[in-house]
Amino acid sequence: MSGAVDRAFETVRIVEANSDAPVCMCELDEGEVRGCMERCLNRSMRFECAVESCPCGDRCSNRQLQQGTTLKTAVIDCGLKGVGIIALEDIAEGRLVGEYVGEYVGELLGRREAQLRSKLYRG
């Protein structure tokens, strides 16, 4: 499968309250409609700004997960692999599709069992 990701790893830090969230130092220049664009420190660290503490306030563009996505999608059955999601419209490069929220739903697998299941799922 061209372009498929076999394994994805990312460091995640849970922020318990907005007071723990980092505050960017973005400034809106005269005539700018949106703030917190590509040079936003929070954006570069993969944090969303908190509307209460962001200097750009309600004009902050770094709150996509908080504002939700309007992308049309459908959940489909993927057989032994469970369920998947497909886009029902074209997706522009760089557009946020959604947030993956994995959930622990069973026992932890040993290496051998994980390898067996991996072979089964890949067919």
For 84-108, write each residue's pLDDT tens digit.
889 999 998 878 777 766 665 566 7
Among 60-64, 78-82, 85-89, 105-109, whose mean pLDDT is lowest? 105-109
- pLDDT value of position 42: 92
Kindly write down the DSSP assignment for every residue of 27-54, as one continuous string: -PPTT-S-BS-TT-HHHHTT-PPPTTT-
- To 5 degrees, how large is the angle CA 5–CA 75–CA 91? 60
Please state, rounded to an integer, the average pLDDT across all residues of the chain: 79
Mean pLDDT of 73-80: 88
CA distance 23 to 18: 10
pTM > 0.85: no
Compute, in degrees rounded to 10, the torsion defined by CA atoms 91, 89, 68, 62.
20
CA distance 83 to 76: 6
CA distance 75 to 86: 7
